[in-house]
A and B are shown apart, each in its own frame.
Chain A
Amino acid sequence: MKLARVVGTVVSTVKSPVFDGRALLLVDLLEPDGREAGGYLIAVDTVGAGAGETVLVLDEGTSARQIVGAPYGPLRTVIVGIVDAVEGPAAGSG
């Protein structure tokens, strides 16, 4: 899983059916200390994440489909958690 920050949305009407009714969010990948790591992903929201929030992103298809409850479909990247805090030396706080 990866740390990321919600920075935008993708609006799409024509898409694979597995994405119907699901929010597609743009997330910037982060270093543990909160700096941008470079790179981004388009992720399906499963937790109600909002703008600017730090989130936990899963980028693996089998787990992603399991979380969403879809046995098939091109689902790979999902937001699975909202991060309250990152602690320890990696976060620059220890």
Chain B
Amino acid sequence: MQLARVIGTVVATMKAPNMEGMRLLIVQPLTRRLEPVGQPVVAADALETAGPGELVFIVGAREAAEAMPNRFVPVDHAIVGIADAVEGLADGGSAAGSREPGKAGKKPRKPRKAGR
């Protein structure tokens, strides 16, 4: 699984029958320091709640289809979680995964955004 940022949506009227009703989002894969890496991909939103600008994590290959309500669908990338925070661990290398490195160890483990 990798971190990614939702950067757009895809509207497709004609698509494979199993894909009807599926939310398709464009996501930019990120490094763990939240820098863009590689090409954006179209991912199915298994959560039905991810929106533009949101930090998510995606899974690729056959496991992407496993995320969907119907497991036998033509999907190769899926959004399987919304990342509320990415935290570096106290003695885990550079701890640069956190967006606020100085506060990494003190932050309470609860979501930042209300309503999620």
Chain A residues close to B by CB (< 8 Å) = 5-16, 19, 24, 26, 28, 40-43, 50-52, 61, 72-77
Contact = CB atoms under 8 A, between A and B. Distances in A.
A16 B46 contact: yes
B10 interface: no
A7 B66 contact: no
Given A13-B84, A74-B80, A7 B97 contact: yes
Interface of B: 1-3, 31-32, 46-47, 49, 57, 59-64, 66-67, 71, 78, 80-95, 97-98, 109-111, 116
Contacts of B90: 51
Contact of A10 (B3, B93, B116): B3
20 contacts: A7-B89, A7-B93, A8-B95, A9-B86, A10-B81, A11-B111, A13-B116, A15-B82, A24-B81, A26-B88, A26-B97, A28-B32, A52-B93, A61-B61, A61-B63, A61-B66, A72-B71, A76-B61, A76-B63, A77-B1
A66 to B, nearest CB: 13
Nearest to A64: B63
A10 B82 CA distance: 9
A42 B84 contact: no
Given A7-B95, A73-B66, A14 B89 contact: no
B80 to A, nearest CB: 4
A52 B59 CA distance: 24
Given A10-B3, A61-B66, A51 B82 contact: no
B2 A6 contact: no
